[in-house]
Structure 1
Amino acid sequence: MSNKYFAYGAIGAALAVALGAFGAHGLKDTLSEDMLEVYETGVRYHMYHAIGLMLVALLADRIGDAKLVRVGARLLIAGIILFSGSLYVLALSDVKILGAITPLGGVAFLAGWGCIAAAALRARKKA
């Protein structure tokens, strides 16, 4: 599990860097200040969770319940897609309804971290 999810995190981090550079250099004259801030929020949370995914992958064997960790990792990926992805599209298209998808990504982030915390707590009880 750890190699696959570490790779997903690394790819996600690289993509966050590329999208951040695109936003900083390619969109600063195109987007309004408000929409650029929305875009930057997407990049920031994208990077946070890509790094988090890599850390989870590195520590997966120590965390405990492999199934619960895997579910948590998948939820982090879903969160990146839903939360950051919706913010990217919202900023680029200004289609406001897309803002309704963003909280679903936030819930996926929370559920993912909750699963990972639960796995760690279960492992602690067994130790």
Structure 2
Amino acid sequence: MERKIILTAAFLGVLAIILGAFGAHALKAVLSPEQLTSFETGVRYQMYHAFFLFFVASRKELSLKALKVIYNLVLTGVLFFSGSIYLLTTKNVTSVDFKIIGFVTPIGGLLLIFAWIVLFVTIFKKNSQN
């Protein structure tokens, strides 16, 4: 499981760098400052959670069950949160209005929050038992 988490983290990190560069260079000319700021928020949160997955993979006190739960929450959370932001902010470029998926952005954010809560609760319980 640790290998899968690390590979996913590396993939999310590489993709965040590529999308960040794409936003800073190619999209700068076609997005409004507000859209560009939103796009950068998606990139930033994706990168934060790539680092989070690296951290989680290094924690030996986490059970396989906790690792799986955190992994699935982060992966789905990044897809919903950052992915929806990418689609919503680039409607000028794609000519597709993705407004209908706007509801998944806060769901993705909640999933990311839950991943952190699972980590907190798991470590808290583990340390209080010792």
TM-score by length of 2: 0.89
Give the AA of the match of 2:71. A
SS in 1 for 2:46: helix
Report how far residue 125 of structure 1 moved: 2.7
Match of 2:124 among 101, 121, 124: 121
Shift of 1:12: 0.4
CA contact (8 A) 1:12 1:50 kept: yes
Per the TM alignment, residue 33 of structure 1 is displaced from its structure 2 partner at its CA by 1.0
| Contact 1:9-1:50 within 8 A present in 2 as well | yes
Matches within 5 A, 1:53-64: 53-59=53-59, 61-62=60-61, 64=62
Which position in structure 2 is the counterpart of 1:25?
25
Q: Which amino acid aligns with 2:54?
A: M
Tell me the CA shift for residue 122 of structure 1: 2.1
Task: List gaps (5 residues or longer) in structure 1.
Answer: none
Measure, in 1, the Cα distance between the counterparts of 2:68 and 2:99. Answer: 33
Percent of pairs identical after alignment? 39
- Partner deviation per Cα, 1:88-115 (whole Å, 9 max, x = no partner): 0001115333332100001100111111
Over the aligned positions, Cα root-mean-square deviation in angstroms equals: 1.3
Structure number with higher helix proportion: 1
1:98 aligns with 2:96: no
Q: Give ranges in structure 2 of 5+ residues lacking alignment.
A: 92-96
Point out 4+ residue stretches in structure 1 off by more than 4 angstroms: none
CA displacement at 1:116 relative to structure 2: 1.4
Corresponding letter in the other structure for 1:4: K
1:44 maps to amino acid: R
Please say which of residues 10-19 and 117-126 is displaced more in the overlay.
117-126
2:70 paired residue number: 72
- 1:47-72 deviation line (CA, Å, top 9, x unaligned): 0011111111111x13x332023201
Q: Is the 8 A contact 1:72 1:114 kept in 2?
A: no
